Structure 1
């Protein structure tokens, strides 16, 4: 199936680009973190570039991706995020960090996340048709998490029994519960930030890729509703499967239109994309197909543009863009 053909015509939505201002050196880590993890302010657009680093045999299989912010008034770009694809994972697994200046050239994928300032992670299923985006934190579904809870329960029982023999059973239980609470505060359950589902499309017979993005809705103040699911049914995909649309925002990629003149599908990227690719996409809500919440596209072999605006965060948009790089066994 041919990749969507790119057209670049002026658009009626000339949204002002986001900018940190002229004092780029004064951007403190907290400001950078809060900006990356917060929805783009309404009326502004993050205009970014993604560079794929895949030199060498190892990097061909496990590349890194760097996200920078373009500011029209600045000659150099502001570095925002880096994603590194990890080895020995059943599906695609990316660690996303903002600690750009402290990454060694040879990234040790077995090192602990704390060493690299990981803000969140992107993981896929084996077929590459479903992706989950999380903040950094405790995985309630991992074997370690289950073991930790079991050990905590066992310690609680042990303390209770031992203390009971000494006449202090209730105090022993309370001590174990306090320890468990302190552990949870120190390492809270991760926040689910988004999910992406690609429609099965073997050999591309159904046309260009179709993707659905799931996010939590926004509060009246314009903040993202925070959810930290501990059961599969409470995850974004689980709620979608159960048709529980409470606080669920469903976005889709804009369908390219067939053009008889070019004999291909076309999308208008407004001058931001220069090469046709199956990776190119635009994200909209069904209620307003002209409001492009996010767009991503190819400009050269290893260079891509990524633009996003409210209600998406730059971190979410970067993670969603990463899902487009992976080969999808059941989608093409």
Structure 2
């Protein structure tokens, strides 16, 4: 079957536009003229593209997947999955998780762990006037502003706390929306935060709701000027995930009834508490999500540069401006644990300023984009008691 990728994409878009026009036409019909949903689905499924032989269809989608490595061209794979059931089934079989291919594609990939080796590189744009933060896929902002939006968050100040509501889109931050994916809540003087996921990952879902992660910034009691220090207890990720043969929870799909009231109710009733994540141990509430020992991340201590008279970290060129918000996170492990090599100190998440309101965010396994973004959001609040 000889057809260029551009021709395939054009046909896919034509079909998508045609479906939209058909749906609009159906809504305008009188009640007696409305075609039953099942019949309409069958009619779409019997289209010429749906009747392609499975081997031919598999070959087409495989070639498209190999050729479209990054966004916005990566959206072609989403278009393939939107054609019909047979296309969607094969596309979902071909598309691998970010851990396996290093590329986010479908929305669920934002809740799946990143790759184990090379990190996924992203950047965050801050809009101070609207208190909105947008996460984009890519090394740096593009000149034509065609960057792929992954997640967006809006800071909402309340009487007793501050919430960062996280959404799949940049203009809808309602908890009742089907684009709501989680939140970050400040629970104590801007030094303690809880991360909530609208859908607990993998087998971590239990009857008793609780945060999937907690972040604790250390108070600067001595008032000596220096960088912030903090720890993240990832209650939904077991420590065993970074050990040999271990794995992190990997959700495969969003709930079918994404906007069901019962789906978001437990989160609104959950009680936030200041959870102790010091090295001495964890409280019972911190162990609600997983019965295994959770993974704890700590910020890498910077070194003092005598010539520059400042604290420094090696960001490999990904951070270009000094800021108290800059950090690198690595796993906090006991030398006795069975880890590949504790001396290598693999950076799991790094975040830093490259412009007045632009920051880079690079994350890898076992963190997901949602978890990494929430951790970075905690760094934006002013913390006089910590620095």
**TM-score with structure 1 length normalisation?**
0.65
Give distance in 2, aligned partners of 1:300 and 1:289.
30
Describe the SS at the equivalent of 2:106: helix
Q: Is the 8 A contact 2:112 2:250 kept in 1?
A: no
Distance 1:114 1:277, change over 3 A: same
Whether 1:263 aligns to 2:309 is: yes
Question: Does the Cα contact within 8 Å between 2:72 and 2:147 map onto a contact in 1?
Answer: no
Aligned to 1:321, what secondary structure does the other structure show? helix
Partner of 1:326: 381
Counterpart position of 1:308: 363
Give the counterpart of 1:295 among 350, 353, 356. Answer: 350
**Residue aligning to 2:282:** 240
**What is the CA–CA distance in structure 1 between the aligned matches of 2:247 and 2:71, rounded to whole Å?**
20
C-alpha separation between the residues in 1 aligned to 2:119 and 2:111?
A: 15
Q: Is the 8 A contact 1:40 1:309 kept in 2?
A: yes
Deviations 1:166-209 (A, max 9, x none): xxxxxxxxxxxxxxxxxxx9xx7656322111000158416211
Counterpart contact for 1:71–1:77, Cα < 8 Å: no
2:182 to 109, 120, 138: 120
Name the counterpart of 1:43. 117
Name the structure 2 match of 1:211: 230
Kept in 2: contact 1:284–1:293 (CA 8 A): yes
Q: Deviations over 1:10-31 (max 9, x none)?
A: xxxxxxxx95694324336995
1:281 to 327, 330, 342: 327
Q: 4+ residue stretches of structure 1 with deviation over 6 A?
A: 228-233, 242-245
Name the Cα RMSD after superposition.
3.7
Partners of 1:86 and 1:93 within 8 A in 2: yes
Q: Say whether the 8 Å CA contact 1:127–1:329 is kept in structure 2.
A: no
Which of 69, 72, 77 lines up with 1:26 in the alignment?
Answer: 77
Question: Is residue 148 of structure 2 the alignment partner of residue 78 of structure 1?
Answer: yes
Unaligned runs of 5+ residues in structure 2 are: 1-68, 83-91, 93-104, 252-265, 333-341
> How many Å apart are 1:301 and its aligned residue?
1.0
Task: Give the 3-state SS of the residue equivalent to 1:273 in structure 2.
Answer: coil
| Shift in alpha-carbon separation, 1:200–1:315, aligned structure 2, 3 A | same
Q: Per-residue displacement from partner, 1:61-91 (whole Å, max 9, x unpaired)? A: xx1000000069x974211000001132422
CA contact (8 A) 2:72 2:148 kept: no
Partner of 1:201: 220
Give the C-alpha shift of residue 289 in structure 1: 5.2
Q: Which runs of 5+ in 1 are unaligned?
A: 1-17, 139-184
Give me the whole-angstrom Cα distance separating, in 1, the residues matched to 2:147 and 2:246. 30
Aligned length: 251
Distance change >3 Å, CA 203–CA 325, structure 1 → 2: farther
Aligned residue for 1:171? none
Q: Which has the higher contact order (CA 8 A, sep 6+)?
A: 1
Q: SS in structure 2 opposite 1:125?
A: strand
Which is strand-richer, 1 or 2? 1
In structure 1, what is the Cα distance between the partners aligned to 2:74 and 2:250?
Answer: 32
Q: 1:265 to 1:310 in 2, by over 3 A?
A: same
Aligned-partner Cα distance in 2 for 1:189–1:19 = 39
